[in-house]
Amino acid sequence: MKPALSTLVAIAVLTGIGSNTAVAQPYPAKPIRFIVPFAPGGAADFTTRGLAQKLTESLGQQIVVDNRAGASGVIGVQLVANSARDGYTLLLGSSSNLAALPSLTPNLPYDPIKDFAPVSLAVLVPNILVAHPSVAAQSIKELVASAKSKPGQLTYASPGIGTNSHIAGELLNRMAGIRLLHVPYKGGGLAVNDLLGGHVQLMFGGISTSLPMVRAGKLRALGVTSLKRVTAAPDVPTLSESGLPGYEIVQWFGVLAPSGTPRTIIMKLHGEIAKAIASPDLRDRYSQQGLEPTSNAPAEFAAYMKVEIEKWSALVKAATSGRGGIF
């Protein structure tokens, strides 16, 4: 081999020219940005940071949590929808911005099905129905009986129109054939304050924030909105087992990537997320906050999202029909 030719061959080998294995770097080769479309401090942020810590350890790259709150989560979700399809920008999506908003907000700047590649569910977040001590009902059955005897007189608070708390109350109205009066507030704090003051009688609240008030005797727990009892409050029955079979309203959070992200990357992320969710320490951290850890395969998550979008669409239509609409 001539010297010049041998030199070119050596350079080609060293630089990877003509070698497919040298061109592609193992994923991930740099930090990954994890977008949370909500402000720090809530269940979404808590879920993401716990998962990010585990993924940083298992993937060997920093998972950078980036809170992009605003417009009911639309800003952060749209950012991910418009990001590169390379696995370096992930979304902590939720039932509110991927399942409920499409029915509540026309002309969303993203399509929850077409613009995202589901990776895995992370947690389910049930609500707990709590009552002011002045309410005589000690159970869901007693509450339903009381509400039927005086329609429209019992009130329930929510952090705002279209929230999980609001829809949970409307589903209870439909399934039980009662009429609880919805009182929307501009945030959960104001709603809780009026509930504690007895200005409203009921609320579907967050488990982690409601249980301390229940244990202090300031509120009474009547039921949880998941199909199974929650780890943080095993003595509180579900609404489903309390005379309303099939009742379920849970907020969910899951991990998604932009549509078009290579399947090899999706499956690698899924495997690491599943291991993280299965780890006893993370499960315990989640459960103590009233979050139910769960994971599923990308195809299962995609199918679950479609069912959820249809369910929320039906609930929103039902909530806006009759009585002149409540949204």
Last residue of a domain, one of 249, 270, 287: 249
- Domain membership of residue 153 as a residue range: 126-249
CA 243 to chain centre: 26
Cα 111 to Cα 78, 196, 282, 299: the distances in Å are 9, 40, 31, 17
Is 304 within the bounds of a domain?
A: yes
Is 326 within the bounds of a domain?
A: no
What is the value of pTM for the model shown?
Answer: 0.78
Same domain, 115 and 104: yes
Same domain, 208 and 153: yes
- The CATH number of the domain where 164 resides is what? 3.40.190.10
Q: Which two tokens stand for residue 242?
A: 């309390």
pLDDT digits 0-9 by tens, 200-210: 999 999 888 89
- What rounded mean pLDDT belongs to the chain? 89
What are the residues whose beta carbons fall under 8 Å from the beta carbon of 295, sequence distance 6 or more?
120, 121, 122, 270, 273, 274, 277, 278
Looking at residue 166, its pLDDT comes to 87
How do strand 220-224 and strand 181-184 relate by DSSP bridges? unpaired
Looking at residue 236, its pLDDT comes to 97
Is 322 within the bounds of a domain?
A: no
Same domain, 133 and 228: yes
State the DSSP H helix or E strand holding residue 89, giving kind and residue range, or none if neither.
strand 89-94
C-beta separation of 293 from 277 below 8 A: yes
Same domain, 202 and 141: yes
Is 194 within the bounds of a domain?
A: yes
Q: Is the pLDDT of residue 224 over 80?
A: yes
Last residue of a domain, one of 195, 220, 249: 249
pLDDT digits 0-9 by tens, 109-166: 999 999 999 999 999 999 999 999 999 999 999 999 999 999 999 999 988 777 788 8
Same domain, 143 and 242: yes
Same domain, 186 and 268: no
Q: What percent of the chain has pLDDT over 70?
A: 90
Same domain, 255 and 106: yes
Total number of domains constituting the chain: 2
- The CATH number of the domain where 57 resides is what? 3.40.190.150
Same domain, 100 and 77: yes
Is 208 within the bounds of a domain?
A: yes
Is 226 within the bounds of a domain?
A: yes
Same domain, 134 and 218: yes
Is 4 within the bounds of a domain?
A: no
* Alpha-carbon span 233 to 137, nearest angstrom: 19
Is 245 within the bounds of a domain?
A: yes
Same domain, 120 and 258: yes
Helix axis angle, 280-288 to 43-59, nearest 10°: 170
Same domain, 145 and 243: yes
CA 83 to chain centre: 21
Whose structure tokens read 């992009």?
Answer: 68
pLDDT digits 0-9 by tens, 50-92: 999 999 999 999 999 999 988 878 999 999 999 999 999 999 9
Last residue of a domain, one of 249, 271, 299: 249
Same domain, 96 and 147: no
pLDDT digits 0-9 by tens, 305-314: 999 999 888 8
